[in-house]
Chains A and B, each alone.
Chain A
Amino acid sequence: MKNRIKVLRAERDITQAQLADELGVSRQTINAIEKGKFDPSLPLAFKLAGLFRLTIEEVFQYED
């Protein structure tokens, strides 16, 4: 699953650590999601998209 988290963070000048703090997860988890190594659960994906005031589809793109 691809995502735009890195771009969205850069646009808002947010670090991985800050984002992790907001979501109540570790920085490593944010890094793994950002790099596409780990797919977040639906609640975490909703929370993440909500933080950027976007829909899930605007943050994550499913690919086969």
Chain B
Amino acid sequence: MSKQSESWKQVNKRNTANLAVWTLAWTLTMAVVSLGPKYIWENDASISLIAILINTAIGVGMILANKRHLNGLDELHRKVQLESLALALGVAVVGGLSYSMLDVANVISYDAEISHLVILIGLTYLVATVVGLTRYK
């Protein structure tokens, strides 16, 4: 009886661990790409290019790992993820463009940085997921 469930749980566990490894690798290579030119290879453009290509390749792996993770979830958790991702995407498009317009119109005194948008997307996704999971408890 528990053979099917164990395999489902095992697959889910493996997909989650796999996604965590890819995300960690992408984050670490992103840190290397950001700090490397200044502290490691003294602004050598060819090394920067190689580092960026490696980071991008790992990013593609992370995207595929995330897709595999989502496909491995059961239908309730897939619904929660769909709602969270829809909200995060909406906030990214609307919030990102509004933020950019604020910069263009000189309403804000500083430059609109992409990192601010990434943080906003991440927080939106995180809060939406927690709220979604709580709703179905």
Contact = CB atoms under 8 A, between A and B. Distances in A.
Given A40-B75, A41-B75, A44-B75, A28 B137 contact: yes
Interface in A1-49: 18, 20-26, 28-29, 31-32, 37-38, 40-41, 44
A22 B4 contact: yes
Given A26-B74, A29-B74, A38-B76, A21 B5 contact: yes
A38 B4 contact: no
| Interface size of A as a range | 10 to 19
Contacts, number: 45
Interface residues of B, number: 16
Contact of B4 (A21, A28, A32, A40): A21
Residue of A28, A31, A40 with most partner-chain B CB within 10 A = A28
Residue of B6, B76, B77, B133 with most partner-chain A CB within 10 A = B76
A20 B137 CA distance: 15
